[in-house]
Amino acid sequence: MKNASVAIGVIGAGIMGERLLNAILQQEPDLLHACGIWDPASTAMQRMEKTFPQVPRMADASAVIAASDCVYIASPPASHLDHARAALAAGKSFFGEKPLAIDVADARAFVAQAGNRGAVNFPFASSFAVAAIKDWIEKGEIGRPRRIEIDVGFAAWPRPWQADAVGWLDRPMQGGFTREVVSHFLFLSRRLVGPLHGLSGKASFPEAGKSERRIAATLRAGDLPVTLAGAVGETAKDDHNIWMLEGDRGAVRLCDWSIAERRLPDGAWQRAADALPNEQARPLALKRQLEGVVSLARGEPHHLATLAEALNVQEIVEGILAG
Strands 145-154 and 240-247: antiparallel
Residue 2 scores a pLDDT above 70: no
What are the pLDDT digits (tens) for 94-140? 999 999 999 999 999 999 999 899 999 999 999 999 999 999 999 99
Distance CA 303, CA 285 (A): 12
% pLDDT > 90, the chain: 94
- Which fold would CATH assign to domain 6-122+285-305? Rossmann fold (3.40.50)
Residue 182 scores a pLDDT above 70: yes
Rounded to the nearest integer, the mean pLDDT of the chain is 96
Strands 145-154 and 224-232: parallel
What are the pLDDT digits (tens) for 191-245? 999 999 999 999 999 999 999 999 999 999 999 999 999 999 988 888 999 999 9
% pLDDT > 70, the chain: 99
Mean pLDDT of 147-169: 92
pLDDT at 236: 86
pLDDT at 237: 85
Distance CA 265, CA 271 (A): 14
Residue 3 scores a pLDDT above 80: no
pLDDT at 1: 59
E strands along the chain, which residues?
Answer: 6-11, 32-38, 70-73, 93-96, 118-120, 145-154, 196-204, 214-221, 224-232, 240-247, 251-255, 259-263, 269-271, 305-306
Q: Is the pTM of this model over 0.75?
A: yes
Inter-residue contact 8 to 43 (CB < 8 Å): no
Given CA atoms 255, 77, 52, 22 in this order, what sign does their dihedral have?
positive
Mean pLDDT of 304-322: 98
pLDDT at 323: 87
Task: Write down the domain spans for the chain.
Answer: 6-122+285-305, 125-278+311-322
What are the pLDDT digits (tens) for 239-269? 999 999 999 999 999 999 999 999 999 999 9
Half-sphere exposure of 303 (CA within 13 A, CB side): 14
Taking the domain 125-278+311-322, which CATH number applies? 3.30.360.10
Mean pLDDT of 171-175: 95
